[in-house]
Amino acid sequence: MTPSLPATYTEWRHCITEVCGIPLTADFIQQRLSVLGNPHNDMTKRFIALYGKPHWQQTKQWFMDALNELDR
């Protein structure tokens, strides 16, 4: 069975930090935003092909939300 994509920020954050064990540091977030922000990047093209443009846009927003949390 294929796991479903996260539908909320809370689910997404849990997947990144708990399931994958990746800390959401400013450096990591900025690196991901740099890649995801470039639609011509090969990794971004693969992401869009696998998950679709709406999930790509949502994921970029979730990374922005995580970055904003660090600024609080």
pLDDT along the chain (72 residues), means of 10: 85 96 97 98 97 97 97 81
19-40 exposure pattern, b = at least 16 Cβ within 10 A, e = fewer: eeeeebeeeebeebbeebeeee
Domain positions in the chain are 24-70
Give residue 2's pLDDT. Answer: 59
Give residue 16's pLDDT. Answer: 97
Tokens 């900025």 locate to 30
pLDDT by residue (tens digit) across 22-38? Answer: 999 999 999 999 999 99
Give residue 58's pLDDT. Answer: 98
Structure pTM?
A: 0.91
Residue pair 21/10 in contact by the 8 Å Cβ criterion: no
